Amino acid sequence: MAPIEVKKICCIGAGYVGGPTCAVIPHIQVTIVDLNQQRIDAWNSDELPIYEPGLDEVVKKARGKNLFFSTDVDKGIEEADLIFVSVNTPTKKSGIGAGFAADLKFLQLATRRIAEVAKSSKIVVEKSTVPCRTADAMRTILEANSKPGCHFDILSNPEFLAEGTAIEDLFAPDRVLIGSLQTQQGLDACAALAGVYANWVPRERILTVGLWSSELSKLAANAMLAQRISSVNALSAICEATGANIDEVAYAVGKDTRMGSKFLKASVGFGGSCFQKDILNLVYLSESLHLPEVAKYWRAVVEMNEYQKSRFANKVVDTLFNTITGKKIAILGWAFKKDTGDTRESPAITLANHFLTEKARINIYDPQVSKDQIWLDLTDYGDIPAEPIKPHVTISQSVEEACHNAEAIVICTEWDEFKTLDWQKIYDNCPRPAFVFDGRLILDRKALTDIGFKVTSIGTGDRL
């Protein structure tokens, strides 16, 4: 049988994954649809809704040619042979599995819509991160609601891009993973999607596996990456207590080729929309499978991350002579990591809340996060009233403004621009003693100490 040729693609969900992932597909017509009018308008404008190095150029080159953004979800579905489902799958906030399980309502709504609208057979691709065996539920929904003659093949194709390097990752991925049922139809659908990627990804990097392995591999990869960060952060606490230096320890450990050097940078903790949510998802899956020890093991990775954030916040308070009431603290960086404007689960939010509870005044600066977004984060999207904290919060337009008169400067995000600041000038505008807390290990501790700052870095003890 001739391989299935994909002529038109639709992607449901124009977010951090749907937008960049589809923008790099060459030749084939791709329409990215979303219910959020504001987001689609932004994708169609000069101010894209997300910041990602290189994204502007890629989108501007393809938009209007083979790349389209629309709120007409039904038309997108109807016209496509292959549909990526790239909607959000956040952690459930209430009900069974609250705080752990993935909330699949957006995925199920999108699946239902596909079944209701499709007039011809489609390949439906799970791109969202989902618990293992979600494709089963999707198949049941699709089969129960489809029109006669419409057949759906479901593939799992998890996205491994990292925010901040998404375009690089997408153009030259370590691997593309496609999971399918091992039936002839499943394998044909898998070959069709592999054919799409083969337009720019070498064949040996396109891995094809069973559906359930593919779904689980995404959770497994994130859990193991986060586990390395929690391990190195646990060691950073030992370094601080012993006089060892975490950067030196990480360097020595990372030189072991069995280990490798990546994901060994100690920090104030990991953030982002995926690590915590995906590990909790794995914890819930383990519990559902009656594997409490496995659940406990993965839960500890998240607990270590919470510990690292509160340990760092407490260190700021301790160092400022056990009180920060009324003191001005500059928070440099609000995004969960550099080169993204994404703030989901950012450690900066936890630190800011901690400082506000201690009645400090905080000045926040981030080069890519808007004032509105910072307020949404501080008020937990409206759940916490803004009025009581307003007098204690200033959102600054520059580092200098944020640090002016600050008793403590706290680095929360590793933006490159923080490495090359005029620290002498900043010091001249700070009261004495002037404290710097390097939550990302990016500053030259000696240079700052020579200027006169009292520097505290993650994983570096004072004991010689």
Ligand X SMILES: NC(=O)c1ccc[n+]([C@@H]2O[C@H](COP(=O)([O-])OP(=O)(O)OC[C@H]3O[C@@H](n4cnc5c(N)ncnc54)[C@H](O)[C@@H]3O)[C@@H](O)[C@H]2O)c1
Residues annotated within the binding site are 13-18, 34, 39, 87-91, 128-129, 159-163, 218-222, 258, 265-271, 274-277, 336-337, 344, 440
Write out 428-460 in H/E/C secondary structure.
Answer: HCCCCCCEEEECCCCCCHHHHHHHCCEEEECCE
Site membership for ligand X, residue 273 (CB under 6 A): yes
Query: Which range binds ligand X by CB under 6 A, 134-142, 157-165, 195-203, 256-264?
Result: 157-165
In the list 86, 134, 368, 457, the residue contacting ligand X (rule: CB under 6 A) is 86
In the list 9, 12, 118, 430, the residue contacting ligand X (rule: CB under 6 A) is 12
Query: Which range binds ligand X by CB under 6 A, 135-143, 155-163, 230-238, 392-400?
Result: 155-163
Site of tokens 């509870």: 357
430 catalytic? Reply is no
Query: Which range binds ligand X by CB under 6 A, 16-24, 148-156, 322-330, 406-414?
Result: 16-24
Site of tokens 């400022």: 320
Site membership for ligand X, residue 131 (CB under 6 A): no
CB of 230 to ligand X, least distance (A): 19
Q: What 3-state class would DSSP assign to 118?
A: coil
Site membership for ligand X, residue 17 (CB under 6 A): yes
**Cα 164 from Cα 48, distance rounded (Å):** 15
For the segment 39-78, give every residue that binds ligand X (CB under 6 A).
Answer: 39, 73
Q: Active-site residue among 10, 11, 274, 403?
A: 274
CB of 92 to ligand X, least distance (A): 13
Site membership for ligand X, residue 430 (CB under 6 A): no
Site membership for ligand X, residue 111 (CB under 6 A): no
DSSP 93-110: -SSTTTTTSB--HHHHHH
Which long-range contacts link 1-7 to residues 24+ away (Cβ below 8 Å)?
Answer: 1/188, 3/188, 3/191, 3/192, 3/195, 4/81, 4/123, 4/188, 4/189, 4/191, 4/192, 5/192, 5/195, 6/81, 6/82, 6/123, 6/192, 6/193, 6/195, 6/196, 7/81
**How many CB atoms sit inside 10 A of residue 228's CB?**
20
Site membership for ligand X, residue 110 (CB under 6 A): yes
Site membership for ligand X, residue 129 (CB under 6 A): yes
Where in the sequence numbering do the catalytic residues fall?
274
**Which stretches of the chain bind ligand X, using CB under 6 A?**
12-18, 33-36, 39, 73, 86-89, 106, 109-110, 128-129, 159, 161, 163, 273-274
